[in-house]
Protein backbone atom coordinates (compact mmCIF):
# COMPACT_ATOMS: atom_id res chain seq x y z
CA UNK A 1 0.00 0.00 0.00
CA UNK A 2 1.08 3.57 -0.63
CA UNK A 3 1.92 5.18 2.69
CA UNK A 4 1.71 8.45 4.58
CA UNK A 5 3.94 8.63 7.65
CA UNK A 6 2.92 11.18 10.30
CA UNK A 7 5.50 12.05 12.97
CA UNK A 8 3.90 13.54 16.09
CA UNK A 9 6.38 14.88 18.63
CA UNK A 10 3.89 14.35 21.47
CA UNK A 11 3.03 11.69 24.01
CA UNK A 12 -0.38 10.17 23.13
CA UNK A 13 -1.55 10.06 26.75
CA UNK A 14 -5.19 11.00 26.10
CA UNK A 15 -7.82 11.17 23.37
CA UNK A 16 -7.33 14.80 22.45
CA UNK A 17 -7.15 16.91 19.33
CA UNK A 18 -3.97 15.33 17.97
CA UNK A 19 -5.21 11.77 18.45
CA UNK A 20 -8.61 12.58 16.94
CA UNK A 21 -6.92 14.20 13.95
CA UNK A 22 -4.68 11.15 13.51
CA UNK A 23 -7.66 8.80 13.52
CA UNK A 24 -9.62 10.84 10.99
CA UNK A 25 -6.58 11.15 8.73
CA UNK A 26 -6.07 7.38 8.84
CA UNK A 27 -9.75 6.77 8.06
CA UNK A 28 -9.70 9.05 5.01
CA UNK A 29 -6.45 7.51 3.78
CA UNK A 30 -8.00 4.07 4.18
CA UNK A 31 -10.91 5.11 1.98
CA UNK A 32 -8.33 5.84 -0.74
CA UNK A 33 -6.34 2.64 -0.25
CA UNK A 34 -3.39 4.21 1.58
CA UNK A 35 -1.58 3.05 4.72
CA UNK A 36 -1.15 5.43 7.67
CA UNK A 37 1.94 5.16 9.87
CA UNK A 38 1.57 7.13 13.13
CA UNK A 39 4.78 7.86 15.08
CA UNK A 40 4.61 9.14 18.67
CA UNK A 41 7.15 9.84 21.41
CA UNK A 42 5.96 6.79 23.34
CA UNK A 43 3.54 3.89 23.19
CA UNK A 44 -0.07 5.03 23.60
CA UNK A 45 -2.04 3.60 26.54
CA UNK A 46 -4.53 0.87 25.67
CA UNK A 47 -7.56 3.19 25.44
CA UNK A 48 -5.75 5.52 23.04
CA UNK A 49 -4.29 2.66 20.99
CA UNK A 50 -7.74 1.15 20.54
CA UNK A 51 -9.03 4.56 19.47
CA UNK A 52 -6.31 4.85 16.80
CA UNK A 53 -6.17 1.29 15.51
CA UNK A 54 -7.54 0.38 12.09
CA UNK A 55 -6.75 -2.07 9.31
CA UNK A 56 -4.47 0.44 7.55
CA UNK A 57 -2.75 1.85 10.66
CA UNK A 58 0.74 1.11 11.95
CA UNK A 59 1.75 2.73 15.25
CA UNK A 60 5.45 3.36 15.84
CA UNK A 61 7.51 4.96 18.61
CA UNK A 62 10.02 7.65 17.67
CA UNK A 63 11.61 8.88 20.88
CA UNK A 64 13.05 12.39 21.19
CA UNK A 65 11.75 13.42 17.76
CA UNK A 66 11.39 17.01 18.99
CA UNK A 67 15.15 17.28 19.58
CA UNK A 68 17.84 17.56 16.95
CA UNK A 69 19.92 14.53 17.90
CA UNK A 70 21.64 11.60 16.26
CA UNK A 71 19.53 8.92 17.96
CA UNK A 72 16.19 10.31 16.74
CA UNK A 73 17.59 10.93 13.24
CA UNK A 74 18.87 7.37 13.00
CA UNK A 75 15.53 5.99 14.27
CA UNK A 76 13.56 8.05 11.74
CA UNK A 77 15.86 6.85 8.96
CA UNK A 78 15.13 3.26 9.97
CA UNK A 79 11.37 3.89 9.95
CA UNK A 80 11.56 5.54 6.54
CA UNK A 81 13.49 2.55 5.20
CA UNK A 82 11.00 0.11 6.70
CA UNK A 83 7.74 1.76 5.58
CA UNK A 84 8.94 3.58 2.43
CA UNK A 85 6.34 6.36 2.63
CA UNK A 86 5.54 8.52 -0.35
CA UNK A 87 4.56 11.32 2.03
CA UNK A 88 6.08 12.39 5.36
CA UNK A 89 4.19 14.84 7.57
CA UNK A 90 5.97 16.38 10.57
CA UNK A 91 4.03 17.68 13.60
CA UNK A 92 5.50 19.19 16.80
CA UNK A 93 9.08 18.50 15.63
CA UNK A 94 10.47 22.02 15.25
CA UNK A 95 10.53 24.05 12.07
CA UNK A 96 14.28 23.92 11.39
CA UNK A 97 15.91 20.50 11.35
CA UNK A 98 17.46 17.70 9.37
CA UNK A 99 14.30 15.61 8.90
CA UNK A 100 13.20 17.12 5.56
CA UNK A 101 16.58 16.45 3.93
CA UNK A 102 16.71 12.98 5.49
CA UNK A 103 13.31 12.21 3.96
CA UNK A 104 14.47 13.55 0.61
CA UNK A 105 17.52 11.28 0.72
CA UNK A 106 15.19 8.36 1.50
CA UNK A 107 13.17 9.10 -1.67
CA UNK A 108 10.10 10.48 0.09
CA UNK A 109 8.13 12.23 -2.65
CA UNK A 110 6.37 14.94 -0.59
CA UNK A 111 7.22 16.41 2.81
CA UNK A 112 4.82 18.47 4.92
CA UNK A 113 5.25 20.37 8.17
CA UNK A 114 2.44 21.65 10.38
CA UNK A 115 3.12 24.60 12.67
CA UNK A 116 1.47 23.97 16.06
CA UNK A 117 3.49 26.41 18.18
CA UNK A 118 1.83 29.16 20.17
CA UNK A 119 3.93 32.32 20.43
CA UNK A 120 5.14 34.15 23.56
CA UNK A 121 2.91 36.82 25.06
CA UNK A 122 2.84 40.02 22.98
CA UNK A 123 4.80 38.42 20.16
CA UNK A 124 4.76 40.44 16.95
CA UNK A 125 6.20 38.82 13.82
CA UNK A 126 8.77 40.69 11.77
CA UNK A 127 10.66 39.68 8.66
CA UNK A 128 13.75 37.63 9.49
CA UNK A 129 17.20 38.90 8.60
CA UNK A 130 18.65 38.13 5.19
CA UNK A 131 21.06 35.51 6.58
CA UNK A 132 18.33 33.77 8.57
CA UNK A 133 16.07 33.69 5.51
CA UNK A 134 18.80 32.19 3.35
CA UNK A 135 19.69 29.59 5.97
CA UNK A 136 16.05 28.62 6.60
CA UNK A 137 15.32 28.26 2.88
CA UNK A 138 18.31 25.99 2.47
CA UNK A 139 17.38 23.85 5.48
CA UNK A 140 13.69 23.58 4.58
CA UNK A 141 13.92 23.55 0.79
CA UNK A 142 12.66 19.91 0.57
CA UNK A 143 9.38 20.84 2.33
CA UNK A 144 6.45 20.70 -0.07
CA UNK A 145 4.03 22.71 2.09
CA UNK A 146 3.88 24.25 5.54
CA UNK A 147 0.37 23.82 6.98
CA UNK A 148 -0.84 26.67 9.20
CA UNK A 149 -3.70 25.85 11.58
CA UNK A 150 -4.96 29.43 11.93
CA UNK A 151 -4.84 32.71 10.04
CA UNK A 152 -2.75 34.06 12.91
CA UNK A 153 -0.20 31.29 12.39
CA UNK A 154 -0.20 31.89 8.64
CA UNK A 155 0.50 35.59 9.21
CA UNK A 156 3.33 34.82 11.65
CA UNK A 157 5.16 32.45 9.29
CA UNK A 158 4.65 34.36 6.06
CA UNK A 159 5.80 37.58 7.75
CA UNK A 160 9.04 35.85 8.81
CA UNK A 161 9.54 34.96 5.12
CA UNK A 162 11.53 31.80 5.87
CA UNK A 163 9.95 30.04 2.87
CA UNK A 164 8.14 31.43 -0.16
CA UNK A 165 4.59 32.49 0.66
CA UNK A 166 3.23 29.98 -1.87
CA UNK A 167 4.54 27.12 0.25
CA UNK A 168 2.16 27.95 3.12
CA UNK A 169 -1.38 26.57 3.31
CA UNK A 170 -4.09 27.46 5.83
CA UNK A 171 -6.04 24.43 7.08
CA UNK A 172 -7.72 25.02 10.43
CA UNK A 173 -7.52 22.58 13.32
CA UNK A 174 -10.95 21.07 13.80
CA UNK A 175 -13.33 18.94 15.87
CA UNK A 176 -14.77 15.49 15.18
CA UNK A 177 -18.46 16.36 15.34
CA UNK A 178 -19.43 12.68 15.27
CA UNK A 179 -18.01 12.36 18.80
CA UNK A 180 -20.10 15.22 20.20
CA UNK A 181 -22.86 13.39 22.03
CA UNK A 182 -25.23 14.54 24.74
CA UNK A 183 -25.52 11.77 27.33
CA UNK A 184 -28.62 12.23 29.54
CA UNK A 185 -26.50 11.58 32.64
CA UNK A 186 -23.13 12.88 31.44
CA UNK A 187 -23.23 16.20 33.29
CA UNK A 188 -24.67 14.87 36.55
CA UNK A 189 -22.26 11.90 36.60
CA UNK A 190 -19.30 14.22 36.14
CA UNK A 191 -20.45 16.50 38.96
CA UNK A 192 -20.98 13.56 41.30
CA UNK A 193 -17.57 12.13 40.47
CA UNK A 194 -15.84 15.35 41.54
CA UNK A 195 -18.20 16.41 44.33
CA UNK A 196 -19.56 19.49 42.55
CA UNK A 197 -22.95 20.60 43.96
CA UNK A 198 -25.78 20.36 41.43
CA UNK A 199 -26.93 23.95 42.03
CA UNK A 200 -23.67 25.56 40.94
CA UNK A 201 -22.91 27.20 37.60
CA UNK A 202 -19.85 25.35 36.32
CA UNK A 203 -17.01 27.21 34.57
CA UNK A 204 -14.49 24.87 32.93
CA UNK A 205 -11.01 25.42 31.55
CA UNK A 206 -9.29 22.49 29.82
CA UNK A 207 -5.56 23.06 29.37
CA UNK A 208 -2.08 22.27 30.56
CA UNK A 209 -1.56 23.41 34.13
CA UNK A 210 1.07 26.01 33.25
CA UNK A 211 1.21 29.77 33.68
CA UNK A 212 1.16 30.43 29.95
CA UNK A 213 -2.39 29.03 29.90
CA UNK A 214 -3.49 31.78 32.30
CA UNK A 215 -4.23 29.63 35.36
CA UNK A 216 -3.18 32.35 37.87
CA UNK A 217 -5.43 34.84 36.03
CA UNK A 218 -8.30 32.36 36.10
CA UNK A 219 -7.90 31.93 39.88
CA UNK A 220 -7.87 35.71 40.36
CA UNK A 221 -10.98 35.95 38.18
CA UNK A 222 -12.64 33.27 40.30
CA UNK A 223 -11.90 35.22 43.47
CA UNK A 224 -13.45 38.40 42.03
CA UNK A 225 -16.57 36.60 40.80
CA UNK A 226 -17.12 34.47 43.90
CA UNK A 227 -17.17 37.60 46.06
CA UNK A 228 -20.56 38.42 44.51
CA UNK A 229 -21.79 35.03 43.28
CA UNK A 230 -20.91 32.02 45.45
CA UNK A 231 -23.03 29.73 43.25
CA UNK A 232 -20.26 29.48 40.63
CA UNK A 233 -17.78 26.59 40.61
CA UNK A 234 -14.53 26.47 38.62
CA UNK A 235 -13.25 23.19 37.17
CA UNK A 236 -9.68 23.02 35.83
CA UNK A 237 -9.07 19.96 33.68
CA UNK A 238 -5.51 18.97 32.83
CA UNK A 239 -2.11 18.15 34.18
CA UNK A 240 1.18 20.00 34.33
CA UNK A 241 4.27 20.77 36.33
CA UNK A 242 2.62 23.66 38.22
CA UNK A 243 -0.66 22.00 39.16
CA UNK A 244 0.31 21.58 42.83
CA UNK A 245 1.38 25.22 43.04
CA UNK A 246 -1.95 26.36 41.56
CA UNK A 247 -3.80 24.26 44.12
CA UNK A 248 -1.92 26.12 46.86
CA UNK A 249 -2.73 29.46 45.21
CA UNK A 250 -6.45 28.61 45.24
CA UNK A 251 -6.20 27.82 48.95
CA UNK A 252 -4.33 31.06 49.64
CA UNK A 253 -7.02 33.02 47.81
CA UNK A 254 -9.71 31.37 49.96
CA UNK A 255 -11.56 29.84 47.00
CA UNK A 256 -10.50 26.18 47.27
CA UNK A 257 -14.07 25.06 48.02
CA UNK A 258 -15.18 26.47 44.68
CA UNK A 259 -12.28 25.17 42.56
CA UNK A 260 -11.77 21.57 41.42
CA UNK A 261 -8.56 20.33 39.81
CA UNK A 262 -9.40 17.06 38.04
CA UNK A 263 -5.95 16.21 36.71
CA UNK A 264 -5.61 14.57 33.31
CA UNK A 265 -8.84 13.18 31.85
CA UNK A 266 -8.12 10.76 29.00
CA UNK A 267 -11.25 11.56 27.00
CA UNK A 268 -13.01 14.85 27.87
CA UNK A 269 -15.74 14.01 25.33
CA UNK A 270 -16.50 10.61 26.79
CA UNK A 271 -16.15 11.66 30.44
CA UNK A 272 -18.70 14.47 30.42
CA UNK A 273 -16.33 17.43 30.79
CA UNK A 274 -18.07 19.69 28.28
CA UNK A 275 -21.54 18.38 29.08
CA UNK A 276 -21.06 19.46 32.71
CA UNK A 277 -19.90 22.96 31.76
CA UNK A 278 -22.22 25.94 31.68
CA UNK A 279 -19.39 28.22 30.49
CA UNK A 280 -15.90 27.47 29.18
CA UNK A 281 -12.86 29.69 29.77
CA UNK A 282 -9.48 30.04 28.10
CA UNK A 283 -7.62 32.92 29.74
CA UNK A 284 -4.27 32.28 28.06
CA UNK A 285 -1.29 34.57 28.61
CA UNK A 286 0.66 33.58 25.50
CA UNK A 287 -0.47 34.00 21.92
CA UNK A 288 -2.54 30.86 21.32
CA UNK A 289 -2.01 29.56 17.82
CA UNK A 290 -5.54 28.16 17.63
CA UNK A 291 -7.39 27.00 20.74
CA UNK A 292 -8.44 23.38 20.18
CA UNK A 293 -10.28 23.13 23.50
CA UNK A 294 -12.26 26.25 22.63
CA UNK A 295 -13.43 24.66 19.38
CA UNK A 296 -14.37 21.47 21.23
CA UNK A 297 -16.40 23.41 23.79
CA UNK A 298 -18.13 25.36 21.02
CA UNK A 299 -19.03 22.07 19.34
CA UNK A 300 -20.95 21.29 22.53
CA UNK A 301 -22.76 24.62 22.29
CA UNK A 302 -20.96 26.23 25.23
CA UNK A 303 -20.36 30.01 25.45
CA UNK A 304 -16.71 31.03 25.76
CA UNK A 305 -14.85 33.67 27.77
CA UNK A 306 -11.29 33.94 26.47
CA UNK A 307 -8.41 36.34 26.19
CA UNK A 308 -8.05 38.37 23.01
CA UNK A 309 -4.72 36.83 22.00
CA UNK A 310 -3.21 35.02 19.02
CA UNK A 311 -5.67 32.99 16.98
CA UNK A 312 -8.44 32.91 19.61
CA UNK A 313 -10.48 35.72 17.94
CA UNK A 314 -10.81 33.46 14.88
CA UNK A 315 -12.92 31.15 17.06
CA UNK A 316 -14.50 33.47 19.63
CA UNK A 317 -16.36 36.28 17.89
CA UNK A 318 -16.88 38.83 20.64
CA UNK A 319 -20.53 39.08 21.64
CA UNK A 320 -21.48 36.35 19.14
CA UNK A 321 -19.97 33.03 20.23
CA UNK A 322 -18.56 34.32 23.50
CA UNK A 323 -16.66 37.22 25.01
CA UNK A 324 -13.08 38.33 24.47
CA UNK A 325 -11.28 40.00 27.36
CA UNK A 326 -7.90 41.74 27.65
CA UNK A 327 -4.99 39.62 28.84
CA UNK A 328 -4.60 39.75 32.63
CA UNK A 329 -7.86 41.67 33.22
CA UNK A 330 -9.52 39.64 36.00
CA UNK A 331 -12.22 42.27 36.61
CA UNK A 332 -13.47 42.23 33.02
CA UNK A 333 -13.30 38.44 32.81
CA UNK A 334 -15.29 38.16 36.05
CA UNK A 335 -17.89 40.62 34.74
CA UNK A 336 -18.39 38.60 31.54
CA UNK A 337 -18.66 35.36 33.49
CA UNK A 338 -21.14 37.00 35.86
CA UNK A 339 -23.32 38.11 32.95
CA UNK A 340 -23.36 34.58 31.52
CA UNK A 341 -23.92 32.94 34.89
CA UNK A 342 -26.99 35.11 35.44
CA UNK A 343 -28.56 34.62 32.00
CA UNK A 344 -29.28 31.09 30.67
CA UNK A 345 -30.79 32.53 27.48
CA UNK A 346 -27.59 34.44 26.74
CA UNK A 347 -25.56 31.27 27.34
CA UNK A 348 -27.76 29.36 24.89
CA UNK A 349 -27.65 32.13 22.28
CA UNK A 350 -23.84 32.38 22.28
CA UNK A 351 -23.46 28.61 22.51
CA UNK A 352 -25.69 28.03 19.47
CA UNK A 353 -23.69 30.56 17.45
CA UNK A 354 -20.47 28.83 18.44
CA UNK A 355 -21.78 25.43 17.37
CA UNK A 356 -22.75 26.88 13.98
CA UNK A 357 -19.28 28.37 13.55
CA UNK A 358 -17.63 25.02 14.30
CA UNK A 359 -19.84 23.28 11.74
CA UNK A 360 -18.89 25.87 9.12
CA UNK A 361 -15.14 26.30 9.73
CA UNK A 362 -13.81 23.69 12.15
CA UNK A 363 -15.38 20.42 10.99
CA UNK A 364 -12.69 17.73 11.22
CA UNK A 365 -13.86 15.57 8.34
CA UNK A 366 -14.01 18.53 5.96
CA UNK A 367 -10.67 20.00 7.06
CA UNK A 368 -8.79 16.69 6.95
CA UNK A 369 -10.24 16.19 3.48
CA UNK A 370 -8.53 19.45 2.49
CA UNK A 371 -5.23 18.03 3.76
CA UNK A 372 -5.66 14.73 1.91
CA UNK A 373 -6.34 16.69 -1.28
CA UNK A 374 -3.18 18.70 -0.60
CA UNK A 375 -1.29 15.40 -0.33
CA UNK A 376 -2.61 14.46 -3.77
CA UNK A 377 -3.59 11.08 -2.31
Residue extents of the structural domains in the chain? 2-174+363-375, 177-361
What is the percent of the chain where pLDDT is above 90? 92
8 Å CB contact between 128 and 160: yes
Q: Is the pLDDT of residue 135 over 90?
A: yes
Q: Is the pLDDT of residue 244 over 90?
A: yes
Average pLDDT for 338-360: 97
Using only C-alpha atoms, what is the Rg of the chain? 21
Contacts of 159 (CB under 8 A, 6+ apart): 125, 126, 127
Amino acid 94: pLDDT: 85
- Determine the Cα–Cα distance for residues 118 and 171; give it in Å rounded to an integer: 16
8 Å CB contact between 237 and 206: yes
Identical fold, 2-174+363-375 and 177-361: yes
Compute the half-sphere exposure of residue 356: CA atoms within 13 Å on the CB side of its CA: 10
Amino acid 273: pLDDT: 95
**Which homologous superfamily does the CATH classification assign to the domain defined by 2-174+363-375?**
Glycogen Phosphorylase B; (3.40.50.2000)
Domain 177-361 of CATH type 3.40.1180.10: no
Q: Is the pLDDT of residue 70 over 90?
A: no
Average pLDDT for 147-168: 97
Q: Is the pLDDT of residue 314 over 80?
A: yes
Q: Is the pLDDT of residue 155 over 80?
A: yes
- Determine the Cα–Cα distance for residues 260 and 328; give it in Å rounded to an integer: 21
Residue 353 in 3-state DSSP? helix
Q: Is the pLDDT of residue 167 over 90?
A: yes
Report how far apart the first and last C-alpha atoms of the chain are (Å, whole number).
Answer: 12
- Determine the Cα–Cα distance for residues 138 and 102; give it in Å rounded to an integer: 13
Round the average pLDDT of the chain to a whole number and report it: 96
Report phi then psi at 349, rounded to 5: -60, -50
Q: How far is CA 349 from the centre of its chain?
A: 25
Amino acid 186: pLDDT: 87
How long is the chain? 377
Amino acid 246: pLDDT: 97
- Determine the Cα–Cα distance for residues 170 and 310; give it in Å rounded to an integer: 15
Kindly provide the residue ranges of all beta strands, DSSP E only, lying in 171-273, ordered along the sequence: 201-206, 232-237, 259-263
Amino acid sequence: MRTVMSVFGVKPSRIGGTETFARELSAQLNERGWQSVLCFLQEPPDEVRQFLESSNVKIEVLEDSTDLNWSATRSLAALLSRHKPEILHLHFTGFLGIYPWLAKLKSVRKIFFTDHSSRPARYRPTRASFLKRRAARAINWPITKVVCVSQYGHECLTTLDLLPRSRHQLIYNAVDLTRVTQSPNGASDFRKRYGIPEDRIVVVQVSWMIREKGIPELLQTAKVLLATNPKVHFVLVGEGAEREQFTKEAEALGIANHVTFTGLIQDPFGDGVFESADIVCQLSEWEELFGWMIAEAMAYGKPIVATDVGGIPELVHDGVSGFLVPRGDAATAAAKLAALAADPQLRNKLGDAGRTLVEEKFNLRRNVSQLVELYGA
